[in-house]
Structure 1
């Protein structure tokens, strides 16, 4: 590639993931908004069966192909397991939610990462949004600025804003090679290994083990670990655990 060439996001590697949406019509509206911006992968995580006619009415016939290819999952961890980078969305801020970025800053990251990695844009239920437990799967968290007088944002509007920013974003060709990251399935296995080892040595408070694990997750999420690096970390955990049980 030539120096100074501009890159845009590879939208085939980007998916909108709706976690426990309340209304079938909002699924259709989200499909339409995503399709408007060139994002055509949509997943829905829920144990409900949504009326397909309501979804199709709100998506219009132009986004029928997106609706037809919706992937339905009952478990969030399962739905995200194949993604390498997950962007969570939140309107509520606070220490437990972690540092948040703007949609524009998020979009610049996604441009780079989507060249080699599958990226999920994760949205929560219309009334409550994503929980802290949901956000633990996310490598970054984005918040859409709104008026202090009226902060409520329709689900499909939030989908449109994030997809629009990604559609408009571009970056210069990075000089460094952008590696493929470990999948969510691989990193979740690593966190399970780390958590078990830290509990074994008494580092984690058994009454609230997720407190320090939340910070550990944030630390590793900034490193963009590869699958090989995850395997190395898990190997270290296994060796340390073996030593704890076999030391004289």
Structure 2
């Protein structure tokens, strides 16, 4: 690999971060740090009540990834941790009525790659015993399942390794062949999106589109649709402007209703 290719791969991989939600074992955090460092990802984020024991994390991180343990970010709320990111790829082994069909990591990398130049990308993983819950997956632009035979559950560190490798391989292959896809524009971050989704939900409830018992289903579909498109900050402001106008008109008909922020 020539130096120019190596520098470009390093720059693009530097846009990605590993986000671990409530990891149960400090050693898995250490292993995830080691994988991230090997693949050129320089940001490790934990969402949990307390930071795991540092020495246990360092045992498997080894000296080469110790810097990720020393600089890891800690948040108590997932929304806060994901606020600066423009694109989130979540992992899930579970399928069910409320979960849509998802693709393998390799199939989805073609959609992730264009985001890397102008957007921060988060690879999101849930705890070892249950994975990501539906309320956590709602932050994701994409959801992926790692293909397995029969036994679907993977160790957290293994799942991190597979996704990091697929991302690194896709970046390296595209850069080496000078066939990198056209870069996506800078997206609105998750903080902007969550504010917009709150406004959209309030508006749809006000006009009667959302009905009690069905609101989660419809909002999940709306989140997936708008999240997959990738909205810029200006477009988010336009949607929120439309919501404000609809809510304002409704208040004119019913003056006693509260005012939206």
TM-score (norm 2): 0.88
Structure 2 counterpart of 1:156: 157
The Cα shift of 1:50 comes to: 1.4
| Matching residue of 2:129 | 127
Query: How many Å separate the matches in 2 of 1:113 and 1:131?
Result: 25
Report which stretch shifted further, 228-237 or 201-210.
201-210
State the match for 1:62 in structure 2: 64
Q: CA RMSD in A?
A: 1.7
Is the CA contact (8 Å cut-off) linking 2:117 and 2:183 kept in structure 1? Answer: no
**Structure with the larger RCO, 1 or 2 (CA within 8 Å, 6+ apart):** 1
Tell me the secondary structure at the aligned position of residue 239 of structure 2: helix
Q: Is the 8 A contact 1:108 1:166 kept in 2?
A: no
CA distance in 2, matches of 1:105, 1:193: 33
Deviates most, 157-166 or 176-185: 176-185
Aligned residues: 241
- Distance in 2, Cα, partners of 1:207 & 1:145: 33
Q: Deviations over 1:137-187 (max 9, x none)?
A: 000001101111x3221111111100101111144244x552101100111
The 5 Å alignment of 1:1-248 reads 10-148=12-150, 150-169=151-170, 170-171=173-174, 172-174=179-181, 178-247=184-253
In the TM superposition, residue 247 of structure 1 has moved relative to its aligned partner by 4.1
The 1:29/1:110 distance shift into structure 2, 3 A limit, reads: same
- Unaligned stretches of 5+ in structure 1? none
CA distance in structure 2 between the aligned counterparts of 1:111 and 1:219, rounded to whole angstroms:
19
Aligned counterparts of 2:38 and 2:123: Cα–Cα separation in 1: 16
Is the Cα contact below 8 Å between 1:10 and 1:114 reproduced in 2? yes
In 1, Cα distance between equivalents of 2:184 and 2:112: 12
TM-score by length of 1: 0.92
How far apart are the structure 1 equivalents of 2:93 and 2:43?
24
The alignment partner of 1:145 has SS state of: coil
Distance 2:148 2:205 in 1: 41
Structure 2 unaligned regions, length at least 5: 255-261
- Residue 93 of structure 1 and its aligned partner are, at CA, apart by 1.8
The superposition leaves residues 209-248 of structure 1 with CA deviations (integer Å, 9 ceiling, x where unpaired) of 2111001111111211101000000000001110111149
